[in-house]
Every structure is written in C-alpha cells, then in structure tokens.
Amino acid sequence: MTAHGGLTSIDGGATARALARPIGRLHSVDTGRDRVPGAAEFVVLVGGDRAGDPSAFGALREDAHVLSFDQALLGPGQELIARLRRELDTRVLPGLGAAYSPDFLAALLQTAVIHLRDRLTQVGDGRPVVVDSYYYKMLAQCRLSGVADNPMFDWWRSFPQPTRVFYLDIAPEKAWRRGYGCGLGPLSHYGARPTRDGFVAYQKDLRELMFAEFGALDVRVLDGTADVADTVREVRAEFLRR
C-alpha cells in the first residue's frame, strides 16, 4: 500500500492483483433479479468525478424513474438517506483513518447500496429505470480507501444487474480543469487536500477498478464532456430499444 496524505491507495502490484481476480459472477446472463423478486430492469449511468452533468438525471426524470442517494434526487419519505449522506460527508470522511475505519465507511455506504436495491422492487409501473452509479463506484471508492476486500462486496455483486451501463468518460486532467480543487469530496482524490496530481491518480485508479467490476456487462462509453442533451438522448434511445 502507498500512503497518500490520510487516505490509502493501492500500489501498482496490488492493483494488478485485484484486477486479475475472477469476475465471472457478473456474467451478463446472471442478472440477479431471480434473487430479488419484483426487481425492475434498469440501466446505470456512472462516470468519474466531474464527468457529465448532474442535470442529466433531472432531465431523465421526465420519462423515467431515477434512483439515487444524492439528496437532490431523493423522493418523499427518504429523509434518512439524505441524513446519512450528510453524516458521511461531514463526519465520517473528514475523520477517516482516525475516528472511523475504512470498514466503517464501507458499512455506511452499504446503506446506500441497499436503498438502491430496495427501490428497484418499488418501481414496477413499466416506466424505464435509471440508477445513479449503483454500487460500482462505491465499491471502487471503498477499495481505494483501504478496504481491499470485504464479504459484503460479494453480497452487493449478487444484487440485480443492469441491462446496460452507460459510462461517462473524461480524461482526469480535463476533469480537474472543470473547477480545479473547488467542491471536491475526499472520495475523489488522494491526499488530505485536492491537488491536480492526487486527483488525476485517484481518478485513473477509480476508472480501472470500476471497469474491472463491470466484468461482462454491456458497457456503452459516452463522452463525459458532451452536452447534457447528448447524454440524455443516448440513454433515452436505450429505452426505445427495449
């Protein structure tokens, strides 16, 4: 392991070993929906930090269910999820490695993963379903925070899988220039404070781990710098195809 100012990153050898692990459990024929009765079919929209535009989810809500644990996208009666997100951002992440362990971080993020899985069983009205990042990004962030492996990860992998993943791709160097260090959370960069080098290195590792986690899923790579309308059009085309 290589220390990066308070967070722990995976060194090159450890990253190679992690990515070499079999991920056949994510084979596209094993959707996981038989283990979660009533789960809807869905697509996932995910990317690195500062890829795309959050307003894409707002536009997609016009004709689809958008499932997220982002406060702006939560519905009525989901105040607890919003509160847990605030506690994560304001208490857990600033104290990670001191007051709170990486395993505690993973356990708290698991509440968001289960929330998304549960929501998949509650939206069976026939409208398309788009999930914000699902567990893929959170699992990668956990691993980059020092949780090399955890039994709960295999449980997450048993959850329903999407029919397609839309990945918003952007070069980390270009993403950094979209605001530089302003507004970046601790789970987007190495080091106690955001720097260009810490952000770029983290984003490259994050992308690599997410793609390893996708395994045999159907992944469509989109331009993470494109207009919101282009992103929305690509995802809506998937709805029409089904």
Distance CA 241, CA 143 (A): 35
On whether the CB atoms of residues 15 and 2 are closer than 8 A, the answer is no
Show the CA angle centred on residue 38, arms to residues 165 and 160, nearest 5°.
30
The percent of residues above 90 in pLDDT, for the chain, comes to: 58
Show the CA angle centred on residue 15, arms to residues 105 and 54, nearest 5°.
55
Cα dihedral 138, 142, 148, 154 sign: negative
Query: What pairs with residue 43 in β-bridges?
Result: 130, 164
Which has the higher per-residue pLDDT, 214 or 71? 214
Reported as type and span, the H/E element at residue 164 is: strand 164-169
Which has the higher per-residue pLDDT, 239 or 23? 239
152-158 long-range CB contacts below 8 Å, 24 or more apart? Answer: 152/106, 152/107, 152/110, 154/25, 156/110, 156/113, 157/25, 157/26, 158/25, 158/32, 158/35
Q: And the tokens for 203? A: 């984003």
Model confidence over 147-198: pLDDT tens digits? 988 899 999 999 999 999 999 999 999 999 998 889 888 899 999 899 999 9
Model confidence over 39-94: pLDDT tens digits? 889 999 999 999 987 889 989 998 899 999 888 888 788 888 889 988 988 899 88
Average confidence score pLDDT of the chain? 84
Which has the higher per-residue pLDDT, 34 or 111? 111
At 232 the pLDDT is: 94
Query: Is 33's pLDDT higher than 90?
Result: no
At 30 the pLDDT is: 58
At 89 the pLDDT is: 86
Instruction: Look up the pTM and report it.
Output: 0.84
On whether the CB atoms of residues 187 and 156 are closer than 8 A, the answer is no
**CATH topology assigned to domain 2-14+38-241:** Rossmann fold (3.40.50)
Query: Is 104's pLDDT higher than 90?
Result: yes
At 124 the pLDDT is: 79
The percent of residues above 70 in pLDDT, for the chain, comes to: 84
C-alpha torsion angle, residues 179, 139, 162, 128 (rounded to 10): -50
Q: What is the DSSP letter of 221?
A: E
Q: How buried is 58 (Cβ within 10 angstroms: 0-12 exposed, 13-18 middle, 19+ buried)? A: middle
